[in-house]
A and B are shown apart, each in its own frame.
Chain A
Amino acid sequence: MNAVPIGRVVATELKPATPHQFHFWTAIETSIGIGAIVKVEGGGTGEEGRVVYGVVTEGFAYSDLATPLHDVVGAEGDPARAADAPTARQQIRYWTAAVLRQTPEEPLQPVPLGQVFVADDADVAQALRMDAFLYSATPTAIPVGLYTSAGRDAPVYLDADFLLGPEAAHLNISGVSGLATKTSAVEFLLASIFAHFPGHKGRIAALCFNVKGPDLCFLDQPGDLSDEDRRRYQRLGVPAEPFRNVRLFAPLKADGVNLNTLRTHPDLVGDVEPLTWGLQEVVDFAEVLLNRDDIDAKADAFIDFLRDRVLGRTFDDGFGGTHRVQTFADLDGFFRSIFDGLEITAGGRSDTWRTHHIATMRKVRNRLLNISTRCKGLVTDDGPSSDLPWKSFEDRAVYVIDIANVDPLGQDLVFARVVSKLREQLERRELGVDAVVVFVDELNKYAPGDGPDTYVKKMLLDISERGRYLGLVLFGAEQFRSQVHRRVVGNAGTQLFGRMDMDELATPGYQILTPATKSKLATLPIGELMVRHPHFTQPIFVRFPKPPVLRGRDGVERFPPAADVPFDEAVVRQLVRLDRRVRPNQVKDLIAEREQEDVRRALAAARQKRPDDAFAYFRKVLGARVEPERHGEREHHAVPPLNPISDEPY
């Protein structure tokens, strides 16, 4: 080979070379460091042709100094004089490397005592076993970043079969907050997936929950990229441009017209779609609204009763009233009728109604109606809902749901419903895409290792354990991996690590890492990650370019959020968004002196209908009292039950 060796394998009785580890020395001035990939070429009888790839996991430097005391004596106790010594002591740079791959793989033998070379692009592909999915007839390689150690610049790929299923799936990323690595890494990786998702695997979309600040609110806006970043994009074959198809959903504020998001700048707010749900959408996830103490057989039975017998049907309450419950307002009326019936008609002699105790009914009523108060804006008392485009998800589209400013209970509800719908529609192959990446940040909050078994945690576990068969892929992020449920992180086939806190690195999950690797992790710069992937036998460090989109912080600086606008102005904006021909003054004149509730219902109806002439339709439905939209007989799709959380290891 023509390459110049940078080191030589050495082995002693105390530190021998093994099939999984070897040691080598280099010149004092060397380009390699922790994380560098090297190649050992065997020589001599019997080992001709054996090539071993390894990654540097530890480094040592020492001199021939027998004891530190001798240095003190030589400098006569004065550290300043130590530097005056005319001769530098003999030193060594001694490295430990973990074996990534041996060729031939059998028989597996100790690493030969050969010359050590820096790995080039082809060597990196071999070392990380990427050749199998990079050069196959149907390649499944997804670039994750550039291996940049030892002065090299080699692309590193993940196997889509192991990142997005079906072989393995899911990705988990850990790292301290504030270094713009976790979110950036996911944004870059989504861009990479969209650019390289193999055609034979079908269509893919991403759904991101924006749970803090403006993090994911500007994925359609270009960010500032340096020339170096652009070069890296070119090297990785990923377009350095923002996502072309982004749809952002945000609930309304309590006023029912202003959007509850930080993307309210006049230039951008028109692209934000309201996310509002009514009773129909909420009731299937009533369990989410009940806390642990509430969950009992009686409450479950009553909720089932409501679902099966009451909601969406004409129902006789037995006290002379007939109900057709389709909104929270209807539900409130229904409960009032029953309680009044028990109090007045039955004379307060009975505590039960159709075998359900009044206390149980009151508890369920309070929980259900409470959501419309706590999450006002997300949940509407009445009127039509505005939802994600179920059954028509588009290929390479990113759907962002901004729930950063939503009550935690509402966040749980959004998460539970959206993921359940995804799962349900992916199972039936009717979502419009074959795979969906769901990005959830703050897993420490949503799937903690300890604490109660919440509905959301159960859902995350369910995705982790069964999602890969459906094409439902979880990209989770958190600050402290050790504090996330072990089966959620354990089922993630691919794991990324940004800069880590030393306390976190001291936890048992990181014991497999050498002190040097931990030290590198604790000081990792922005844009660098440690990657673990099923094909990589050792963790690999990669550098990824800045994401091609506007970061949340930069976004709110460039597009400062607008203050909430008056009611009539907000109505105008929403109608203009539906139909550019709408004239603001016409709308303001029309809604002057009208009840806001009526206007909201008319607006919601127009949003849902999306008529050609939005103003005409709005005027028509506002002309008379807008009746809550009546759905046909409610088609109830039961959500498959979740597996209870067991203590089985993953």
Chain B
Amino acid sequence: MNWWKPLIQAGAVPGSGSKGEEPEAAERAELVEDAELRAHEISAESRVPPAVSFLNGFERWSVRAYDGVIPVVEAYIAAAVRRREGRGGLQAVGVRQRSFAVAALDRMKPDLRQLLEHSAGDIEPVDGEFVGQPARYLEQVETIVRRARAHVERELAESTLERLGAEAWLVLDGLLSRSPAVARHPRALGVIKSHGAQFLEGRGLERALTLPAGHRTSVFAVRGGHTRTETYSWYLRLWPWEGNDLLYGLLRIEARAHPDTIARASELSGWLWSERAPLATPATRWDRLLYPLHQVEEYLKALAPRDVLQRASRLPSLAS
């Protein structure tokens, strides 16, 4: 007999899972709805907007060469918006792509640097202080690529909002607060599926993490992104977590910091709840990934250069 079964028989909730996301720094949240964080049943009669644009981004990078101990990295980033009219398929309405090299230019040998500048064209520099520390260097590369991707996504989001229809919405994968213009738009939502950053504590945190499926939490205000723009946020549970882990099916939604957001939080949650189907399989985090956002990612993968997607074999090459 398994030792944990008596616990469940005694009232513990069955679960599963292992190590999850890397923890990030705790963020401060200010409750703007209810006196204390509560679970609200979402609206069953919610309306799916007639037109919705979904934005997602994509990044890949790989070391292609070494100048001594300096890794020279090839990076590819892209973002796309695919629009859904009514209930139907998605059509791409905007794409941004960028291919560039990442290297500590000021520490490279002159001839190789000249050759790199001549052939690559678009290069993001790495601070020379990371040279000699491969792990930190690559961490810095990761940061540079991610920042570049965020930039592309922000530009695309802003341009999309400029031509968004009167009743159309923009749903983007990740923080809404990357761009003040996007964060303040009345019909833009950010859908966050990573929960490394912790906004709640105590009883409120417990209520959020044990939120039943089909419920949302009270709305709270957060400041996010490097612009620290304030947005309103709430948690939404798409699938029952019991039998899985606490973050299973849990989304954090961001919308503009406005009283209207509080008034419409249940309605908007009902809409997002209806986006559970189709399932975003075979993505591993399908429980938190909306299918249209998954589709945008697949679209970007299809556009990406083939060599960017291929992983090099780590088997040693045989000498000829």
Least CB distance, B189 to chain A, in whole angstroms:
14
Cβ contact of B87, chosen from A66, A67, A70, A87, cutoff 8 A: A87
Complex contact A86–B275 (CB within 8 A): yes
Complex contact A88–B277 (CB within 8 A): no
Complex contact B298–A74 (CB within 8 A): no
A563 adjacent to chain B (CB < 8 Å): no
Q: Which residues of chain B (287-307) have a CB below 8 Å from chain A?
A: 291-292, 295, 298
Q: Which residues of chain B (242-292) have a CB below 8 Å from chain A?
A: 274-279, 281-282, 291-292
CA distance A482 to B8 in the complex (A): 68
Cβ contact of A82, chosen from B48, B277, B292, cutoff 8 A: B277
B274 contacts across to A, CB distance below 8 A: 84-86
Contact mask B59-99 → A, CB, 8 Å, 1/0? Answer: 00000000000000000000000001001111000000000
Least CB distance, B315 to chain A, in whole angstroms:
20
A91 contacts across to B, CB distance below 8 A: 89
Least CB distance, B91 to chain A, in whole angstroms:
11
Complex contact A66–B281 (CB within 8 A): yes
A73 adjacent to chain B (CB < 8 Å): yes
CA distance A81 to B48 in the complex (A): 15
CA distance A73 to B280 in the complex (A): 11
CA distance A28 to B84 in the complex (A): 16
Complex contact A73–B295 (CB within 8 A): no
Least CB distance, A597 to chain B, in whole angstroms:
85
CA distance A89 to B275 in the complex (A): 12
A67 contacts across to B, CB distance below 8 A: 281
A87/B281 contact (C-beta < 8 A), A64-B298, A74-B276 known = no
Least CB distance, A151 to chain B, in whole angstroms:
23
Complex contact A65–B277 (CB within 8 A): no
Least CB distance, B283 to chain A, in whole angstroms:
10
B298 contacts across to A, CB distance below 8 A: 64, 90
CA distance A82 to B277 in the complex (A): 8
Least CB distance, B84 to chain A, in whole angstroms:
6
A71 adjacent to chain B (CB < 8 Å): yes
B52 contacts across to A, CB distance below 8 A: 86
Tell me how many residues of B have a C-beta within 8 Å of chain A. 19
A590 adjacent to chain B (CB < 8 Å): no
Least CB distance, B289 to chain A, in whole angstroms:
12
CA distance A87 to B299 in the complex (A): 15
A369 adjacent to chain B (CB < 8 Å): no
CB-nearest residue of chain B to A72: B279
A28 contacts across to B, CB distance below 8 A: 89
Cβ contact of B295, chosen from A65, A70, A74, A90, cutoff 8 A: A90
CB-nearest residue of chain B to A71: B278
CB-nearest residue of chain A to B82: A87
Complex contact B279–A86 (CB within 8 A): no
A526 adjacent to chain B (CB < 8 Å): no
Contact mask A51-90 → B, CB, 8 Å, 1/0? Answer: 0000000000000111100110111000001101111111
Least CB distance, B215 to chain A, in whole angstroms:
16
CA distance A409 to B48 in the complex (A): 77
Q: Which residues of chain B (12-66) have a CB below 8 Å from chain A?
A: 48, 52
Q: Which residue of A65, A71, A87, A89 has the most chain B CB atoms within 10 A of its CB atom?
A: A87
Contact mask A245-280 → B, CB, 8 Å, 1/0? Answer: 000000000000000000000000000000000000
Complex contact A88–B48 (CB within 8 A): no
CA distance A82 to B87 in the complex (A): 12
Contact mask A303-315 → B, CB, 8 Å, 1/0? Answer: 0000000000000
Complex contact A86–B87 (CB within 8 A): yes
Least CB distance, B275 to chain A, in whole angstroms:
6
B84 contacts across to A, CB distance below 8 A: 86-87
A89 contacts across to B, CB distance below 8 A: 278, 291
CB-nearest residue of chain A to B290: A87
B90 contacts across to A, CB distance below 8 A: 87, 90
CA distance A91 to B298 in the complex (A): 13
CA distance A91 to B52 in the complex (A): 20
Complex contact B281–A86 (CB within 8 A): no
A64 contacts across to B, CB distance below 8 A: 298
A82 contacts across to B, CB distance below 8 A: 277
CB-nearest residue of chain A to B282: A66
Cβ contact of B89, chosen from A66, A73, A81, A90, cutoff 8 A: A90
B48 contacts across to A, CB distance below 8 A: 86
CA distance A616 to B132 in the complex (A): 130
A88/B89 contact (C-beta < 8 A), A64-B298, A66-B282, A70-B281 known = yes
A74 contacts across to B, CB distance below 8 A: 276-279
CA distance A25 to B298 in the complex (A): 18
Complex contact B277–A85 (CB within 8 A): yes
CB-nearest residue of chain B to A81: B277
A84/B89 contact (C-beta < 8 A), A66-B282, A90-B298 known = no
CB-nearest residue of chain B to A88: B89
B88 contacts across to A, CB distance below 8 A: 87-88
A70 contacts across to B, CB distance below 8 A: 278-279, 281
Cβ contact of B279, chosen from A73, A81, A84, A88, cutoff 8 A: A73
Complex contact A85–B281 (CB within 8 A): no
CB-nearest residue of chain B to A73: B279
CA distance A91 to B278 in the complex (A): 13
A66 contacts across to B, CB distance below 8 A: 281-282
CA distance A71 to B90 in the complex (A): 19
Q: Which residue of B90, B276, B277, B282 has the most chain A CB atoms within 10 A of its CB atom?
A: B277
CB-nearest residue of chain A to B49: A86
CA distance A82 to B89 in the complex (A): 15
B276 contacts across to A, CB distance below 8 A: 74
B295 contacts across to A, CB distance below 8 A: 87, 90
Complex contact B279–A87 (CB within 8 A): no
Cβ contact of B292, chosen from A73, A75, A84, A87, cutoff 8 A: A87
Complex contact A87–B282 (CB within 8 A): no
CB-nearest residue of chain A to B84: A87
Contact mask A3-35 → B, CB, 8 Å, 1/0? Answer: 000000000000000000000000010000000
CA distance A384 to B14 in the complex (A): 104
A81 contacts across to B, CB distance below 8 A: 277
Q: Which residue of B48, B88, B89, B281 has the most chain A CB atoms within 10 A of its CB atom?
A: B281
Least CB distance, B128 to chain A, in whole angstroms:
44
B87 contacts across to A, CB distance below 8 A: 85-88
Q: Which residue of A28, A71, A73, A75 has the most chain B CB atoms within 10 A of its CB atom?
A: A73
A73 contacts across to B, CB distance below 8 A: 279
B278 contacts across to A, CB distance below 8 A: 65, 70-71, 74, 85, 87, 89
CA distance A87 to B279 in the complex (A): 10
CB-nearest residue of chain B to A28: B89
CA distance A85 to B276 in the complex (A): 8
A86 contacts across to B, CB distance below 8 A: 48, 52, 84, 87, 274-275
Least CB distance, B86 to chain A, in whole angstroms:
9
Complex contact A75–B282 (CB within 8 A): no
A87 contacts across to B, CB distance below 8 A: 84, 87-90, 275, 278, 291-292, 295
Least CB distance, B93 to chain A, in whole angstroms:
15
Least CB distance, A518 to chain B, in whole angstroms:
31
Q: Which residues of chain A (308-325) have a CB below 8 Å from chain B?
A: none
CA distance A84 to B89 in the complex (A): 13
CA distance A582 to B275 in the complex (A): 92
Least CB distance, A165 to chain B, in whole angstroms:
55
Least CB distance, A115 to chain B, in whole angstroms:
18
Interface residues of A (CB under 8 A from B): 28, 64-67, 70-71, 73-75, 81-82, 84-91
User: 9 closest A-B pairs (Cβ-Cβ)?
Assistant: A74-B277, A85-B277, A66-B282, A74-B279, A88-B89, A70-B279, A66-B281, A86-B48, A70-B281
5 sampled A-B residue pairs with Cβ under 8 A: A66-B281, A82-B277, A85-B274, A87-B90, A87-B295
Given A66-B282, A70-B281, 20 additional A-B pairs, CB 8 A: A65-B278, A71-B278, A71-B279, A73-B279, A85-B277, A86-B48, A86-B52, A87-B88, A87-B90, A87-B278, A87-B291, A87-B292, A87-B295, A88-B87, A88-B88, A88-B89, A90-B89, A90-B90, A90-B298, A91-B89
